[in-house]
Structures are given as structure tokens and as C-alpha cells.
Amino acid sequence: MSRQESRYSSTKKMAVGLLLLGWFAGLAWAFWWFEGQYVKAFERPVYFSAQNVQPPFAPGQVQVLHVWQPGCPCNGGHEDYLESMTERFSELGVMFARAGSQSTEGLLPALKQLPHWPIPSEWNDWPGAPSVAIWDAAGNLAYVGPYSDGAHCSRDSSFIEPVITTLLAGRPVNIVTQDTVACLCDLKRGI
């Protein structure tokens, strides 16, 4: 190998190394930015347990309120699960409503079909979306929080599937004051 070929090979290796380093630095920055922007605590203030907020429908069946903000990057990891879960539990008599944007623009087909229920004034400081509130058949708030921790939700990682299953079995649930970390977008005012 000639001296010129050797120099070319070294320069090529250095360029590839710098490109890889820049790519890794860009990925690290993007991950850091996303985590800082969207992954935060779903803080369930004391008022979730102290306020007796009535569910969207008359008591008599388990009720689930999807709190959804169209355009939120956190929605992507929950969309398939939300659609299948809503369909499965609707067949078992669970009633569903949605909160967040009153417009159906940008909503999933399953959410478009649900009645809009404005978040009550007692819950003005709702921690973020995507999240959910669940009431038992007697109209008592049983769960409030994210679908799961992190940015993705499935049957295996869902917080809410065990809650709904337990409530359908007639057993009590009260998970309204524990905090967790999840991917959440701030809700736009006027919801």
C-alpha cells in the first residue's frame, strides 16, 4: 500500500468516525430533549381523592374517560392499545367518553365515536395527556393516571386493564393518589 493510499484510508476512517460520533451525539440530544419535554410525573394532587367528581354517565356500569390531546407525540405509543382496549371492554358493558379537544379533528376513529365530556372545573390542573380516569359502577373514582409508564402502552404494560378487570369482577379499586412517570403533553386550555 502506498503512502497516499494509507493517508486516504486514514482520512476515510476519521471521517466515518466523526460522522458516527455526530450521529450518536444527535441521538443523545434528541432523546434528552424528548425526555425533558414529555416524560414527566403524573402528579395526582390530593384533590383527586377529595373531590367527588361525577362520572360522564349515570352510575350503573364501569366508566372510562380517555383524556387525549391530538398532535401529542406521546399518543403514538398508545393508539393501537386504546383502539383494541376500548373495543374489548365496550363489549363487556364498560362505558367510554373522551376529554381533551372538543373537535374530532386528529382523533383516532375509536375516540371520534365517543361523546365529549369536558374536564370539570375541580380538575382544572389535570396533569396531562394521554391519560385516563375510571369510575366504578357505583360512580366512585377508582383510578386516575396514565395508561402506562413510559411512552408506550400494551396489554402487558397497561395500568388500566387490571383496574377495569378488577372493577368488572365487582372488587373495589382506589388508585387516585400515587404518582407515576409517563409520557405526557400539557393539555391546551379551553378543553
Q: Are 116 and 28 members of one domain?
A: no
pLDDT along the chain (191 residues), means of 10: 65 76 66 57 53 87 92 79 90 94 82 90 80 92 81 64 94 80 73 45
Q: What is the pLDDT of residue 164?
A: 95
Q: What is the pLDDT of residue 116?
A: 93
Q: What is the pLDDT of residue 48?
A: 57
Q: Are 63 and 101 members of one domain?
A: yes
Q: Are 90 and 15 members of one domain?
A: no
Q: What is the pLDDT of residue 45?
A: 56
What lies within 8 Å, CB to CB, of 66 at 6+ separation is 82, 86, 96, 97, 98, 99, 100, 111, 114, 130, 132
What lies within 8 Å, CB to CB, of 93 at 6+ separation is 61, 62, 168
Q: What is the pLDDT of residue 26?
A: 65
Q: What is the pLDDT of residue 31?
A: 56
pTM (whole model) above 0.85? no
Q: Are 140 and 152 members of one domain?
A: yes
Q: Is 134 helix (H, G, I), strand (E, B) or coil?
A: strand
Enclosing domain of residue 168: 43-183
Q: What is the pLDDT of residue 105?
A: 84
Q: Are 104 and 155 members of one domain?
A: yes
Domain membership of residue 66 (yes or no) is yes
Q: Are 144 and 97 members of one domain?
A: yes
Separation of alpha carbons 114 and 123, rounded Å: 20
Q: Are 117 and 101 members of one domain?
A: yes
Q: What is the pLDDT of residue 38?
A: 59
Q: What's 60's domain CATH number?
A: 3.40.30.10
Domain membership of residue 191 (yes or no) is no
